[in-house]
């Protein structure tokens, strides 16, 4: 008869069962015999162990780029480059953003050179990109914040955090813009832009060799600026009424890439639209079908000239381009 161990701690039982299954390679029938409980109970324990974080499963999937779509997107929109990842499961937004983040990290690793200035805006996808970036020392790299601070609290996808993280990974210098992203009126924005500290970051940002940029949406439930409380609902509605479909670095545009709502942009503190578009390499990182119009507007408006995205989004972009061509 099997002698069953008495567990005072449920987590200890979960860990023991998980170790036998995942590390020792025993099947559920063998574990069931060891513990004197049913196979169905073992199955539930393994599920519970994953749910409680005792077991973490990482799948190392090789990135598979779609060269056909990359060529089609590059030629149709006149981009410097397009990096399109095949991704069937576009419904799982977190998984999709992680895969795009890994892809863009590889692209940026191959792009960065010594003595360059790299500008960063903000965003969840950029945060994924920098997290996936493999540390490598690059001589005399400066990483500069292109747009003002989103809020008083430190957030994982704020410009300051992202500048600090990338600068650390390349052993470079971080240059920060400590002013708010949006202020009450254009006079305040002008005054902040003339501040010596702000002016240093803005001037360096103008001379960026590469910009790493997310592409935002104006759909309320998918607008990170609104969801984070960085712009008001009134601001968002005003932008929507002006035809805005998305933004790059806080610069909102319509489906044709034209600026939407000048008054909002006059209250912004950060790199100007013209200075942003003068940066030689502007890498736009975004995916998911809900951002089709935003990414389309960012491309045709010249906000980005390199795209890292997913295959479903790329197909949607080509369809949308055909629609607007008619």
Residue 183 shares a structural domain with residue 35: no
Confidence of residue 156 (pLDDT cuts 50, 70, 90): low
Domain count, the chain: 2
In a domain, 60, yes or no: no
Q: Which domain holds residue 20?
A: 10-51
Residue 212 shares a structural domain with residue 300: yes
Residue 45 shares a structural domain with residue 119: no
With b for 16 or more beta-carbon neighbours within 10 A and e for fewer, the 215-243 pattern comes to bbbbbeeebbbbeeebbeeebbebbbebb
Residue 21 shares a structural domain with residue 109: no
Q: What are φ and ψ of residue 185, in 5° steps? A: -155, 170
Handedness of CA 268, 270, 275, 276 (dihedral sign): negative
Residue 122 shares a structural domain with residue 148: yes
97 versus 1: the higher-pLDDT residue is 97
Q: What is the mean pLDDT of residues 40-48?
A: 89
Confidence of residue 240 (pLDDT cuts 50, 70, 90): very high
Mean pLDDT of the chain: 89
- Report the pLDDT value the prediction gives residue 63, as an integer from 0 to 100: 78
In a domain, 3, yes or no: no
Residue 207 shares a structural domain with residue 293: yes
Q: What is the pLDDT of residues 22-40, one digit of tens each?
A: 888 889 988 988 888 898 8
In a domain, 57, yes or no: no
Q: What is the CATH number of the domain that holds 99?
A: 3.40.50.1360
Q: What is the pLDDT of residues 197-232, one digit of tens each?
A: 899 999 999 999 999 999 999 988 778 778 777 788
Chain position carrying tokens 């974080």: 53
Q: What is the CATH number of the domain that holds 19?
A: 1.10.10.60
Residue 34 shares a structural domain with residue 145: no
- Answer whether residue 60 shows pLDDT above 70: no
Residue 245 shares a structural domain with residue 182: yes
In a domain, 248, yes or no: yes
- Answer whether residue 1 shows pLDDT above 50: no
Which of 51-65, 120-134, 154-168 is the most confident on average? 120-134
- Report the pLDDT value the prediction gives residue 204, as an integer from 0 to 100: 96
Q: What is the pLDDT of residues 260-294, one digit of tens each?
A: 977 888 999 999 999 999 999 999 999 988 899 99
Lowest mean pLDDT among 45-49, 89-93, 178-182, 272-276: 89-93
- Report the pLDDT value the prediction gives residue 89, as an integer from 0 to 100: 61
- Tell me the pairing of strands 251-253 and 246-248: antiparallel
- Report the pLDDT value the prediction gives residue 180, as an integer from 0 to 100: 87
In a domain, 94, yes or no: yes
Residue 82 shares a structural domain with residue 216: yes
In a domain, 62, yes or no: no
Residue 174 shares a structural domain with residue 73: yes
In a domain, 106, yes or no: yes
Q: What whole-number distance in Å separates Cα of residue 99 and Cα of residue 114?
A: 27
Residue 14 shares a structural domain with residue 115: no
From the number of C-beta atoms within 10 Å of its C-beta (0-12, 13-18, 19+), residue 24 rates as exposed
Percentage of the chain exceeding pLDDT 70: 92
Percentage of the chain exceeding pLDDT 90: 57
In a domain, 282, yes or no: yes
Residue 47 shares a structural domain with residue 73: no
- Answer whether residue 151 shows pLDDT above 80: no
- Answer whether residue 247 shows pLDDT above 90: yes
Q: How many residues does the chain have?
A: 326
Q: What is the pLDDT of residues 90-141, one digit of tens each?
A: 667 778 888 899 999 999 999 999 999 999 998 888 999 999 999 999 999 9
């Amino acid at each position: 008869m099997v002698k069953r161990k008495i567990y005072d701690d449920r987590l200890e039982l979960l860990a023991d069962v998980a170790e036998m299954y995942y590390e020792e390679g025993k099947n559920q029938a063998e574990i069931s015999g060891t513990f004197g409980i049913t196979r169905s109970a073992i199955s539930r324990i393994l599920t519970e162990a994953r749910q409680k974080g005792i077991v973490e499963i990482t799948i190392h999937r090789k990135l598979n780029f779609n060269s056909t779509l990359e060529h089609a997107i590059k030629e149709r929109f006149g981009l410097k480059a397009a990096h399109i990842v095949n991704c069937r499961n576009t419904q799982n937004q977190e998984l999709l953003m992680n895969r795009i983040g890994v892809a863009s990290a590889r692209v940026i690793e191959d792009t960065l050179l010594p003595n360059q200035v790299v500008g960063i805006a903000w965003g969840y996808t950029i945060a994924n990109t920098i997290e996936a970036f493999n540390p490598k020392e690059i001589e005399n790299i400066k990483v500069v914040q292109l747009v003002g601070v989103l809020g008083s609290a430190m957030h994982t996808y704020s410009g300051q955090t992202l500048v600090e993280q990338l600068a650390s990974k390349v052993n470079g210098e971080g240059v920060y813009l400590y002013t708010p992203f949006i202020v009450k009126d254009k006079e305040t924005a002008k005054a902040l832009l003339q501040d010596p500290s702000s002016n240093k970051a803005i001037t360096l940002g103008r001379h960026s060799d590469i910009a790493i940029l997310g592409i935002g949406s104006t759909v309320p439930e998918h607008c990170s600026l609104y969801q984070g409380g960085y712009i008001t609902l009134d601001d968002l509605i005003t932008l929507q009424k002006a035809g805005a479909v998305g933004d790059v670095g806080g610069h909102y545009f319509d489906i044709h890439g034209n600026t939407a709502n000048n008054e909002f942009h006059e209250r912004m503190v950060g790199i100007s639209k013209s200075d942003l578009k003068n940066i030689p390499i502007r890498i736009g990182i975004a995916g998911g079908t809900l951002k089709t119009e935003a990414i389309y507007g960012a491309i045709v408006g010249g906000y980005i000239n390199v795209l890292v995205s997913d295959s479903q989004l790329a197909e949607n972009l080509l369809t949308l381009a055909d629609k607007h061509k008619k």
